[in-house]
């Protein structure tokens, strides 16, 4: 073992110790053990303080809400266990429609958004009309409120009586969601493409790749990796907004809750539907946070993004 003297002149074991290759196992110094013990104590103290402050906040909120003059009436109207049990199976059955809309519209939004972003970043004057159309599309649908877009598509398309065009509110609602969210996702992709330094494309061209090959193999992979967190956030928003297709009569989780609420004149089904959406959204939100933190750590360490 190697002994070293600390600042006070006391001998202790060196932090480095003797490794197994030298015949002795590593033994941490007393100073290192004290430091680790101090860190654990601070972590326990921080956890205890956080738990205590959370408990106090919860108690205060509970007292404020329960002591309100209209609490009993609010409890009967929004938190009735009988109507919650009645609504939950219907809401879960309608939620399956929301999940299917999320999966189908999510794929379409990513594909259409990518195509629009590529159109907006095409170089050369010959592609100016295509760039202008892509810019007009994103400006229009980003500025148009989603609820108005849904009403126009869901109620306007059937009024045209076009042959061979569906009047199913689910398909029409999904189309409106795709049109709106494609505009947002296109801007996310465009920001990622423009964040790639032009030298990357120039290096690819110097190796003999065409513009199309450089975009596909060099620019787009980097752009997509950099924009994963905002893309996941857009998908989280899309997941919640699938409930808006109920304005056309589609029986999703929101519409199922609305039917029971109108029949019973009790708003507990809305609370049930809201909690179901929250439970569905939280895992994706936490996954987005994890991906963002991971990419931030890699960026801080100088790794590839």
H, E, C per residue of 237-251: HHHHHHHHHHHHCCC
Q: What is the mean pLDDT of residues 57-67?
A: 90
What backbone phi and psi angles, to 5 degrees, belong to 5? -100, 135
Question: Domain-by-domain residue ranges, the chain?
Answer: 3-54, 86-295
* Number of Cα atoms under 13 Å in the Cβ half of residue 256: 24
Please name which of 152, 166, 170 lies closest in space to residue 242, comparing C-alpha atoms: 170
- Which strand (E) or helix (H) includes residue 4? strand 3-5
247 close to 146: Cβ distance less than 8 angstroms: no
Percent of the chain surpassing pLDDT 70: 90
Give start and end residues of each alpha helix (H) in the chain: 30-66, 71-78, 81-120, 128-143, 146-151, 157-160, 169-195, 198-206, 211-214, 220-226, 228-241, 253-264, 268-300
Angstrom CA distances, 63 to 49, 71, 81, 297, stand at: 21, 11, 21, 41
pTM: 0.75
Q: What is the mean pLDDT of residues 35-50?
A: 91
Q: What is the CATH number of domain 86-295?
A: 1.10.3720.10
User: Does position 140 have pLDDT exceeding 80, yes or no?
Assistant: yes
**b/e map of 256-294 (b: 16 or more CB within 10 Å)?**
bbbbbbeeeebbbbbbbbeebbeebeeeeeeebeeeeee
Label residue 18 by pLDDT band (50, 70, 90).
very low
Q: What is the mean pLDDT of residues 194-211?
A: 82
- What does the alpha-carbon distance between residue 226 and residue 53 come to, in Å, rounded to a whole number? 37
Q: What is the mean pLDDT of residues 243-269?
A: 89
Give start and end residues of each alpha helix (H) in 16-70: 30-66
User: Does position 284 have pLDDT exceeding 90, yes or no?
Assistant: no
More confident: 205 or 274: 274
233 Cβ partners below 8 Å, 6+ apart? 288
More confident: 302 or 228: 228
Q: How do residues 19-42 score in pLDDT, each as one tens digit?
A: 445 556 778 888 888 888 889 999
Q: What is the mean pLDDT of residues 137-155?
A: 93
- What does the alpha-carbon distance between residue 266 and residue 270 come to, in Å, rounded to a whole number? 9
């Amino acid at each position: 073992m190697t002994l070293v003297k600390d600042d006070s002149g006391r001998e202790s074991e060196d932090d480095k110790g003797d490794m197994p290759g030298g015949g002795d196992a590593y033994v941490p110094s007393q100073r290192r053990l004290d430091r680790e013990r101090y860190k654990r104590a601070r972590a326990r103290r921080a956890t205890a303080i956080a738990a205590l402050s959370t408990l106090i906040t919860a108690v205060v909120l509970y007292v404020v809400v329960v002591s309100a003059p209209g609490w009993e009436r609010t409890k009967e109207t929004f938190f009735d266990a009988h109507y919650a049990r009645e609504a939950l199976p219907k809401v879960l059955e309608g939620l399956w429609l929301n999940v299917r809309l999320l999966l189908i519209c999510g794929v379409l939004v990513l594909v259409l958004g990518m195509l629009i972003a590529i159109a907006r970043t095409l170089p050369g004057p010959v592609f100016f009309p295509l760039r202008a159309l892509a810019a007009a599309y994103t400006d229009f649908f980003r500025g148009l409120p989603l609820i108005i877009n849904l009403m126009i598509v869901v109620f306007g398309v059937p009024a045209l009586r076009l042959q061979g065009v569906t009047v199913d509110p689910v398909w029409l609602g999904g189309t409106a969601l795709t049109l709106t969210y494609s505009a947002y996702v296109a801007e996310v992709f465009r920001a990622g493409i423009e964040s790639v330094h032009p030298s990357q494309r120039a290096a690819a061209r110097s190796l003999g790749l065409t513009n199309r090959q450089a975009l596909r193999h060099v620019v787009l992979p980097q752009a997509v990796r950099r924009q994963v967190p905002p893309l996941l956030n857009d998908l989280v928003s899309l997941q919640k907004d699938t409930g808006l297709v109920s304005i056309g009569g589609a029986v999703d989780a929101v519409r199922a809750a609305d039917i029971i609420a109108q029949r019973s004149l009790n708003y507990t089904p809305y609370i049930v539907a809201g909690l179901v959406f929250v439970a569905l959204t939280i895992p994706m939100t936490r996954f987005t946070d994890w991906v963002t933190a991971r990419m931030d750590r890699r960026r801080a360490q100088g790794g590839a993004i």
